[in-house]
């Protein structure tokens, strides 16, 4: 028995040495990059390889001290929402993939995954779990322990309920509790015709138990929100966080509110709605208040501005002046999904002064191009403050020049992690591809000229600020169409598009939806009365006219209806709506 035990320990020791040796690398021993860098465009001296492909809708990732990769899936496979991956032959690419975990809620996983103090932490919408890790073992061997449970009523329907996790170096764990709404609006405040005024509740009740970040004691189990303290408030939606031991601060990226033009067409143009409000990088301190829902940050004015649901018009500041500013602001609706403070020694030293941010890409910018779909770097100066500029670090995810619809982008950056050798790992959520980025140049001679080609990437339509006229694609949008549909159409046709089985017909696979586009536009614009036969059943409910909506709104409703209920993915041009409106006919 003693000999057997000794042999097992010796084998474990040798396994650890072998795996560790694989990551004690020099530029000469790094794995060979893909010839095309896996499709990525990077600054000079950087190379990339795809370490794994097509593992499913990958969210955040974590890399262990021996280089094993752990990924959280957006949707579980056979009830297992986490993947463990290992490079057993040490060629730089994953060849062992294991799905595990029996701890997802209602079959859907969420964002958080990280390794801390010998445990693998994962999160779903409702809970945070941990499993003890054993050195040398790919899969955690300890039992699943419930760290925290979110018992709020709307936890499974909350738009912004993802639970990324961060730990500081002072014994605390940080968890965001997102807002259940876009801007603290209430259906009770909708007008008599069902038209939302966009008015926000004042004071906003969501700020009590949502729209903020809570701090909990680390290494404790069975926690609820009541066991923590509200660390910061006024933050609508946080999907990525990281602790920076250099300045003892929590960094978080926030997603701004939507629908300025849809909800306030008299105060905001479609262009303003496409570029505002800013997505923000926050250095979160105890007691901070970033102003949601009363304020939003305007990256052009470089200040907080009063939110239109509380009387703002894009110019009024008012009480917005009382709230904290982010440390950096990006373009509107870019959807930052992860933030990572770089601590590795493999990249040039300048990268140890700043943070990386992964942008998932927008869904709510029509009639202008969608934007984001990159990984950027925010450099810091010697005083630990942002320099005021940001850099395109990794591009090439979208693989198209203009992202008209979100689905046009082939890949959408999602998660960031640093490997034990200082390599940067990037995940994407469309197909489940993970890249490893390595620097193979001279760390001591990296210059600004090495960034020139990446600086030129800022002219791409999915990165630059769109021109109000020349970049107007004049097409409806799916997301704004969904909001408008739920506002004006769902009461009769229902949110699932199946109608009421009595007076109002279904839209699902209806020939009125999948057929002639002009007829569909005409019905939305001018209404319809009299009997109509759909799928062999006769309906007689009155369809009201919606001529008060502008061409973009009508195009967006038609785009959403055809995409959601008819599998017709093309966006409807606003010119098409203008032509039909000009005829003034009801067919």
Q: Is residue 519 part of a domain?
A: yes
Read off the DSSP letter of residue 238: E
Q: Is residue 389 part of a domain?
A: yes
pLDDT in tens, 336-377: 999 999 989 899 999 998 999 999 999 889 999 999 999 999
Residues 433 and 527 in one domain: no
Q: Is residue 141 part of a domain?
A: no
Residues 516 and 545 in one domain: yes
Q: Is residue 532 part of a domain?
A: yes
Residues 561 and 414 in one domain: no
Residues 187 and 218 in one domain: yes
Q: Is the dihedral of CA 47, 53, 55, 58 positive or negative?
A: positive
Residues 489 and 428 in one domain: no
Q: Is the dihedral of CA 114, 118, 124, 128 positive or negative?
A: negative
Pick from 408, 431, 459: which residue ends a domain? 459
Q: Nearest-CA neighbor of 123 among 151, 99, 153, 149?
A: 149
What rounded mean pLDDT belongs to the chain?
A: 89
Report how many domains make up the chain: 2
Residues 258 and 394 in one domain: yes
Q: Is the pLDDT of residue 166 over 50?
A: yes
Model confidence at 8, pLDDT cuts 50, 70, 90, reads: very low
Residues 309 and 427 in one domain: yes
d(CA 413, CA 397): 7
CATH assignment at residue 542: 1.10.760.10
Residues 209 and 295 in one domain: yes
Q: Is residue 372 part of a domain?
A: yes
Q: Is residue 473 part of a domain?
A: no
Beta-carbon contacts of 457 under 8 Å, excluding residues fewer than 6 positions away, are 41, 374, 392, 395, 463
- What pLDDT score does 44 carry? 96
Q: Is residue 140 part of a domain?
A: no
CA angle 40, 42, 45 (to 5 degrees): 130
Cα Rg, the chain, nearest whole Å: 25
Burial of 3 (0-12, 13-18, 19+ CB in 10 A): exposed
Length of the chain: 587
Name the percent of the chain lying above pLDDT 90.
67
- What pLDDT score does 157 carry? 65
Residues 500 and 356 in one domain: no
Q: Is the pLDDT of residue 480 over 90?
A: no
Residues 380 and 515 in one domain: no
Residue 196's domain comprises 48-61+168-459
Higher-pLDDT residue of 162 and 175 is: 175
- Token pair 């839209």 is found at 507
Residues 448 and 492 in one domain: no
pLDDT in tens, 489-510: 988 899 899 988 888 899 998 9
Alpha helices in 276-396 (DSSP H): none
| DSSP track, 373-418 | -SEEEEEB-TTSSB-S--EEEEB-SS-SS--SSGGG-S--EEEEEE
Pick from 412, 428, 459: which residue ends a domain? 459
Q: Nearest-CA neighbor of 513 among 491, 548, 485?
A: 485
Pick from 413, 430, 459: which residue ends a domain? 459
Q: Is residue 69 part of a domain?
A: no
CATH assignment at residue 310: 2.120.10
Beta-carbon contacts of 174 under 8 Å, excluding residues fewer than 6 positions away, are 165, 166, 167, 168, 213, 214, 215, 216, 231, 241, 243, 250
Single pTM value for the model: 0.88
Q: Nearest-CA neighbor of 296 among 269, 262, 256?
A: 256
CB neighbours (10 Å) of residue 237?
A: 22
Phi-psi region of 297 (alpha: psi -120 to 50; beta: other; left: phi over 0): beta
d(CA 180, CA 424): 33
Residues 507 and 393 in one domain: no
């Amino acid at each position: 028995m003693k000999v057997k035990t000794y042999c097992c320990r010796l084998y474990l020791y040798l396994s650890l040495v072998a795996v560790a040796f694989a990551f004690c690398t020099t530029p000469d021993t790094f794995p060979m990059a893909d010839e095309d860098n896996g499709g990525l465009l990077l600054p000079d001296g950087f190379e990339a390889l795809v370490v794994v492909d097509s593992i499913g809708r990958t969210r955040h990732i974590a890399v262990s001290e021996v280089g094993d990769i752990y990924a959280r899936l957006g949707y579980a496979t056979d009830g297992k929402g986490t993947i463990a991956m290992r490079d057993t032959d040490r060629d730089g690419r994953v060849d062992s993939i294991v799905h595990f975990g029996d701890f997802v809620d209602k079959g859907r996983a969420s964002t958080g995954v990280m390794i801390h103090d010998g445990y693998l932490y994962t999160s779903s919408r409702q809970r945070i779990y941990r499993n003890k890790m054993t050195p040398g073992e790919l899969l955690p061997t300890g039992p699943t322990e419930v760290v925290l449970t979110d018992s709020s009523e709307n936890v499974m329907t909350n738009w912004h309920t993802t639970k990324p996790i961060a730990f500081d170096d002072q014994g605390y764990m940080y968890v965001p509790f997102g807002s259940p709404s876009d801007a603290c609006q209430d259906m009770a405040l909708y007008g008599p015709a069902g038209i939302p005024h966009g008015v926000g509740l004042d004071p906003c009740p969501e700020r009590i138990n949502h729209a903020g970040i809570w701090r909990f004691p680390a290494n404790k189990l069975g926690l609820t929100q009541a066991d923590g303290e509200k660390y910061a408030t006024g933050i609508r939606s946080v999907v990525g966080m990281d602790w920076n031991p250099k300045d003892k601060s929590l960094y978080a990226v926030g997603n701004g509110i939507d629908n300025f033009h849809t909800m306030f067409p008299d105060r905001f143009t479609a262009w303003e709605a496409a570029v505002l409000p800013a997505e923000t990088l926050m250095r979160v301190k105890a007691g901070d208040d970033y102003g949601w829902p009363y304020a939003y940050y305007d990256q052009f004015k470089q200040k907080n501005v009063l939110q239109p649901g509380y009387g703002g018009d894009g110019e009024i500041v008012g009480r917005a002046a009382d709230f904290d500013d982010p440390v950096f602001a990006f373009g509107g609706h870019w959807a930052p999904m992860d933030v990572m403070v770089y601590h590795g020694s493999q990249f040039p030293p300048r990268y140890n002064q700043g943070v990386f941010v992964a942008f998932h890409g927008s869904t709510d910018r029509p009639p202008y191009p969608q934007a984001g779909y990159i990984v950027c770097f925010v450099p810091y100066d010697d005083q630990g403050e942002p320099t005021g500029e940001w850099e395109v670090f990794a591009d090439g995810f979208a693989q198209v020049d203009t992202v008209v619809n979100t689905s046009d982008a082939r890949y959408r950056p999602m998660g960031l992690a640093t490997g034990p050798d200082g390599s940067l790992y990037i995940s994407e959520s469309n197909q489940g591809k993970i890249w490893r980025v390595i620097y193979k140049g001279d760390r001591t001679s990296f210059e600004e000229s090495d960034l020139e080609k990446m600086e030129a990437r800022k002219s791409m339509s999915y990165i630059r600020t769109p021109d109000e006229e020349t970049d107007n694609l004049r097409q409806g949008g799916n997301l704004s169409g969904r909001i408008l549909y739920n506002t004006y159409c769902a009461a009769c046709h229902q949110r699932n598009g199946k109608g009421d089985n009595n007076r109002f017909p279904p839209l699902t696979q209806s020939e009125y939806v999948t057929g002639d586009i002009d007829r569909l536009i005409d019905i939305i614009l001018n209404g319809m009365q009299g009997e109509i036969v759909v799928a062999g059943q006769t309906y007689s409910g009155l369809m009201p006219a919606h001529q008060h909506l502008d061409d973009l709104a009508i195009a967006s409703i038609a785009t959403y209806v055809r995409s959601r209920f008819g599998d017709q993915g093309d966006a409807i041009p606003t010119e098409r709506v203008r032509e039909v409106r000009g005829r003034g006919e009801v067919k």
